[in-house]
Each structure stands twice: as structure tokens, then as C-alpha cells.
Structure 1
Amino acid sequence: MVRNRSPTFENRQAAGKRLGEALRERDIEADIVLAIPRGGLPVGRPVADALGVPLDIAVAKKIGAPNNPEYAIGAVAADGTVWLNTDVIDRREIPRDYVANTRAEMADAAKQKAQRYRDPESSPSLTGKRVCLVDDGVATGATARACIEQIQQADPERLVLAVPVASPRAISDLEALVDEVVCLEIPSEFRAVGQYYEQFEQVSDEVAMSYLAEE
């Protein structure tokens, strides 16, 4: 991994091109790139093109804390695979019924998003495959963790996590869950993923899906 002081990416596509170059320089090979919608798809497309492999999706939804939905206490993938930050849940004394209800709600939302992006019957087999999971950045790591656990259940040959920028704590936690991490920037004073992009506008589902349609 590379640690630089002033990470800056023009936009997600530019970050994806740099990420693809970094993967090629490391001689990392893959059979498929999975991007986390929505922001991961503009990054994943140039990565998939650089590696010469198909692009697909890995979908998960964050489980937010009560009265603070942006603070992740866990995440759940489209197939129901869940990761919970039990330390935070216990420390904040978050009610178990809240966790269970929100988990079910987010699992349904993740499943619906995955179905909106592609036909469930066209979901690729990952067994024995070399998989590269891509997002536009990692803050808490909750969503990436749920996706990683979902992918690992499919028994891939190898799983690489590739992101342009991440917080030191999150990337350290995620390193133990995959075979390799490629992260271009790990700023010590990380605050938010968007901080490291000149352009970081919201990506609509329609725009995100257009990257899947590209050849």
C-alpha cells in the first residue's frame, strides 16, 4: 500500500484509471471485478477495462445507528449476509429489536437494488474465481465488510480489495479479511471519502447502471 500526504482525485473515473494502473503494475490478475453501487461503478469500469475482465456488482446496505443513520453499526449484503459492530452496539446499548428490524429492512433494500441492477439469474458464479472488489473509498468499512463476507461464502480462489482512498483504521481491519488490499491513499487525518475528490457528485442508479452496460 502507498501512503501519501495529499491525495487528490479529479473524479471517480480518474481514480479508477489510477487504480487499474496500480493493479497492473502489481501484476494482479482477476477473473471479474465487482463494484459496490452506486459510487463504486464509475471506479470499477476503468479497473475492469484495465484488467480485461467483466464488471459486475456486490451490493450491501449500511445499518445506521438510531437517530444517526450515517453512523454505521453494521451492514447487510443482498443475500442477507450481515456484519454487525457488536462492540459499538453493546457500548451504545442499542436495542436488539432495533438492530433486527433495521437489518431486515436494509437486507430487503439491498436485495431490491441488486435486482434493479441486473437479473438475479445472471448473477455470476464466484466459486474458484479471482475476484477484485472495488469501491470509491472506505470510511468505516461496514459496507465493504458485508460484501467481502458475501463473496467469501462463494469460495473464490482469491479476493483483492481495491480502493482509491481509505481511513487507516478501516483498511487495517479489512486487510485481515481478504488476500490483498490495494489502496492508493491512506491519509492519517481521514475525515470522509469525498474530501479526496475534486468532483464527488451523487451517482444516480441510471448513471451507475450505464457503466455495467459498457463493453
Structure 2
Amino acid sequence: MFALFKDRNEAGRILAERLRKEAGAGTVVLGLPRGGVPVAFEVAMALGAELDVLPVRKIGVPGHSELAMGAIASGGALHVEHDTMQAAHVTQAQFDAVLARERIELARRESAYRGNRPPASVEGRTVLLVDDGIATGSTMKAAIRALRARRPARIVAALPVAPAGIEAEFEDMVDAFFCVAQPAPFFSVGQHYEDFGETTDEDVRALLQRAWGGQPGQAQ
């Protein structure tokens, strides 16, 4: 199977072209760390929009951390995949233990990425919520719930790649759903990139610094 994108940067530039009609004055692009931030950076630069991050963490099944049984996002939002928990025979105590660890990591990342800088104001604005792709959609759903509490005018989910038909799960959650490609069969996000190397905390901070014109924590 041929890769659809060279890397996250190329995916972001292609995605930006699909989103031009969605971007207007005051549009905010929120990237989901870590892998969604390089994509979101390219979208924000191409559209002349403000860039920020919305930290989110997958809650992985014990022993199979890549399999999501839920997700949490900055602001306290929680999404639980009850069917996955049941199929994997995960107890509530096991779930709570993983949840506690991920909450600690979420707080660490938020501090690392933005320092003392407050989150971008999204109230009354169009928000393009960007990731490098979705498989189950758990992290995106948690991010949307966290974002909705901040009262944006519109939420647009924007992705380079996702499974065919998954947009139906987001019909009641977002105002629009944009995806460059929805190949079948779909096994993982990474299979559709030539280069799907890990995005580090340092990569995220560097991109935010470029977008903000200064160090995280500085006032503009």
C-alpha cells in the first residue's frame, strides 16, 4: 500500500487547501499534541490563523497501550469507550489507575508546551481542530468535549486521514468534518505516511515558538 503523505508537514499543507473556505477573520487552529501540531502549524501558516494546542491523552488498555479505551483533554473532558473496556476485560480499578497516570502526564505537557501563556481565547470564534489522523476517534472526541465548554462559534474537525465512514460518529459533535483521505482497509494512521517519526515535546515547543514569535510563557 502506497503512503498518502510524505510527512506531517506535507499533510498539513494539503489539508490547508481543503480548509480555505472555513478560515476567516478570527479563526483559531488547535493542534492535538504531539503529532497533530506539525499538521496544525502548516494549516495555521497557510491560512494566516492563530495557532495553539489542546493537550489530550489517550487512555490505553493495560498491556496494549495503543488500543484506546478512552481519552482525556485539557479542561477536564473525558471520553470513555465502554465497548473496548468490556471487550478487553478492563476493570474500573484498572481504568482509574491508567486515568490517574494520564492526568499527571497531561498536566506536565500543558505546562511544557505553553509555560505561563494562557490558552487562546476561542469564545465566539471558528476553531479548526487538527490532528495527524484518527483511528478510533477517542482523542478527538475528548478534545471536542473540552473545546465545546469554551463556547466557540463553530468547531471544525480537520484531518489528513481517517477510516471510511467515521465522520458519522462526529455528526452531533462538530459543525463540519474535513478529511483529505479515507482509505480502506484502514489499520493505523502511520501506515499512510512515508515518515511517521515521533514528534517530541521539543518539536512542539519549537513550532509554537515560531507561530507565537517568542518563547512559551511570554506575552505577545
**Fold conserved between structures, TM > 0.5:** yes
* Cα distance, 1:109 vs structure 2: 1.0
Alignment of 1:202-213 (within 5 A): 202-213=198-209
Q: Which residue of 1 aligns with 2:155?
A: 159
Q: 2:182 aligned to 183, 186, 191, which one? A: 186
Q: Which residue of 1 aligns with 2:114?
A: 118
Q: Which residue of 2 aligns with 1:196?
A: 192
Q: Which residue of 2 aligns with 1:94?
A: 90
CA distance in 2, matches of 1:169, 1:64: 23
* Cα distance, 1:96 vs structure 2: 0.9
Q: 1:28 aligned to 17, 22, 32, which one? A: 22
Q: Does 1:176 align with 2:179?
A: no
* Cα distance, 1:121 vs structure 2: 4.6
1:17-69, Cα deviation, whole Å (9 max, x unpaired) = 01101111xx1125210001111111111100122111100111111112211
Q: Which has the higher helix share?
A: 1
Q: Which residue of 1 aligns with 2:218?
A: none
Q: Which residue of 1 aligns with 2:142?
A: 146
Q: Which residue of 1 aligns with 2:214?
A: none
What is the one-letter code of the residue matched to 1:67?
G
* Cα distance, 1:79 vs structure 2: 2.3
* Cα distance, 1:201 vs structure 2: 1.0
What is the one-letter code of the residue matched to 2:22?
I
* Cα distance, 1:186 vs structure 2: 0.4
* Cα distance, 1:6 vs structure 2: 6.2
Q: 1:59 aligned to 55, 60, 69, which one? A: 55
CA distance in 2, matches of 1:164, 1:23: 11
- Report the identity percentage: 35
**Residue-pair matches, total:** 209
What is the one-letter code of the residue matched to 1:28?
E
Q: CA, structure 1 residues 169+90, in 2 after alignment: closer, same or farther (shift >3 Å)?
A: farther
The runs of 4+ residues in structure 1 deviating greater than 3 Å are: 90-93
* Cα distance, 1:116 vs structure 2: 0.6
Which SS does the other structure have where 2:34 is aligned? Answer: coil
TM-score, length basis structure 2: 0.89
C-alpha contact (below 8 Å) 1:33/1:54 kept by paired residues: yes
What is the one-letter code of the residue matched to 1:29?
A
C-alpha contact (below 8 Å) 1:141/1:171 kept by paired residues: no
C-alpha contact (below 8 Å) 1:134/1:162 kept by paired residues: yes
TM-score, length basis structure 1: 0.91
Q: 1:85 aligned to 66, 81, 87, which one? A: 81
